[in-house]
Structure 1
Amino acid sequence: MQKSLLHTAFGVLALSLATAASAQVKPEDQIKFRQAGYSFMSWNMGKIKANLEGEYNAKQVEAAANAIAAIAGSGMGALYGPGTEKDIGNLKTRVKPEFFQQMQNVGKLATDFNAAAANLAKVAASGDKAAVQKAFGATGETCKACHDKYRME
């Protein structure tokens, strides 16, 4: 339980520090950058899925997992600053307003995702397809947990 509280506290602290850094980036750029990051992670998740369902190329999986982990750990929380909770001009966002009101829970979800992505990269380096399948599922579950709660369709 203490480990969970520590992870949650770390996630909230990281998001708080990231918010301070976001003041240097215009809100519309924050939205564009976070969408680009999530799109790139999604593309890499798709590459891993294709490898798990077809011919397994351990090097491709490792590269994709490393890209996901790098973006997940890059401070994406800095891209959720003031003004990014709504559309800006023709730039649309799908983040729900509740995201900005429930930072402790968001911090926990972010910490869970970062840990799962880091684990996926670690497991992918082993080349063990079965272990990657399990870590890939766990990473996907952490994505879904946030999407289900804080992303509009």
Structure 2
Amino acid sequence: MKPMLASSVLGLAAVVLASTAVAADLKPEEQIQLRQAGYSFMGWNMGKIKANLQGEYNADQVSAAANTIAAIANSGMGALYGPGTDKDVGDVKTRVKPEMFENMEDVGKLAHDFVAAADNLAEVAQGGDPAEVKAAFGDLGAACKACHKKYRAD
């Protein structure tokens, strides 16, 4: 089990470093567009989970959506908040508040909480218990809102 954990950690570190290197080559407007696409895709998958919790529950669909959210959360999207992405760039609009870039320690904590909640949801969803998924989904929503409340403009 330990070799698997070590290889997973090394693999994740490689993805994060590669994501950072690739993001550095992107223009600010491209970084904004990519991060918005990632959050939109996460939102779509959260909508699938919400629909399952409110209607007929399909454990496979919920698990797939939760795994997708966790994968995006762990993808190194923080690298897409580079210099110049704190404001609109041409026709590319952003709702991020500039003060986010002044509070990186707080942002790091919020990001850590978000990733932990996404990972937990993916793990819980594998069990297939709708009540447990609902609780974990609520925790993920709270983690999203914690950042939105501070650092996302209306």
Partner SS state of residue 123, structure 2: helix
8 Å Cα contact 2:70-2:119 kept in structure 1? yes
> How much does 1:94 deviate?
0.2
What is the RMSD of the two structures over their aligned residues, measured on CA atoms? 1.7
- State the TM-score, normalizing by the size of structure 2: 0.86
1:115 and 2:122 correspond:
no
8 Å Cα contact 1:19-1:80 kept in structure 2? no
1:54 and 2:47 correspond:
no
Length, aligned pairs only: 139
Unaligned stretches of 5+ in structure 1? 1-14
Higher relative CO (CA 8 A, sep ≥ 6), structure 1 or 2? 1
Give the distance between the partners of 1:61 and 1:104, measured in 2 at CA: 32
Unaligned stretches of 5+ in structure 2? 1-15
The share of aligned pairs that are identical, in percent, is: 69
Give the distance between the partners of 1:108 and 1:95, measured in 2 at CA: 17
- State the TM-score, normalizing by the size of structure 1: 0.87
> How much does 1:26 deviate?
1.2
1:96 and 1:16, CA in 2 relative to 1: closer, same or farther beyond 3 A?
Answer: farther
> How much does 1:22 deviate?
3.0
Give the distance between the partners of 2:133 and 2:25, measured in 1 at CA: 38
